[in-house]
Amino acid sequence: MRILVGDSSCLIDLHKAGLNLDVLSLPFTFVVPQPLYDRELLSIPRREREMMVARGLQVQTLTGEQTERAQDYSNRFIPLAVYVCFALVLAEVSENALLLTGDRDLRKVAEGYDVETHGVLWALDQMDAHTDIPAQVLLEALQLYERDPHCVAPRGRTSETD
């Protein structure tokens, strides 16, 4: 089974649409770095984060070397916060992993290191293909993203081809 490493932007956007628990039913092993879970997902209520873990979200601790690599990436690629770099490193060192991110700068850096990346629209496409979530629910999520100025989903698109 493929490993899907989530960053905070996508997990928060899925939460906004009420889909953060549903996405965990996809055929992936979902992983998030411990520091990101502890400090970046605070807009998701604690009980809901605990439910995500109960449904299969794995919260993974990074080694000292991995933490140093994330800090190095954050220092070299200035727009990137260290927390998203934790997700990049975790995707980079995990066999058969892909990175779920809405951060354009992170995506560019990840692709430079041959880390496959996708965004929240791809996750919605996957939910449409692999779950019984009604299409209307997914459409409402897209409409919410289109209206939300803080959402990192691309504007004016209804699907993601990558």
Range of the domain at 33: 3-147
Give a yes or no: residue 154 inside a domain. Answer: no
* Token pair for 27: 């055929």
* Mean predicted confidence (pLDDT) in 10-14: 92
Any bridge partners for residue 117, and if so which? 99
Per the CB < 8 A criterion, the answer to whether 77 and 88 are in contact is no
Number of compact structural domains in the chain: 1
* Mean pLDDT along residues 26-48: 94
In a domain, residue 132? The reply is yes
- pLDDT reported for residue 117: 96
Give the model's pLDDT for residue 154: 55
Domain with residue 53: its CATH number is: 3.40.50.1010
Query: Residue 37 falls within a domain, yes or no?
Result: yes
Residue 158 has pLDDT above 90, yes or no: no
Whether residue 41 is contained in a domain is answered as yes
36 domain residue, yes or no: yes
What pLDDT is attached to residue 152? 57
69 in a domain, yes or no? Answer: yes
Helices (H), 40-119: 46-54, 64-76, 82-93, 104-112
Is 101 within the bounds of a domain? yes
Domain-embedded: residue 160: no
Count of other CB atoms within 10 angstroms of residue 138: 19
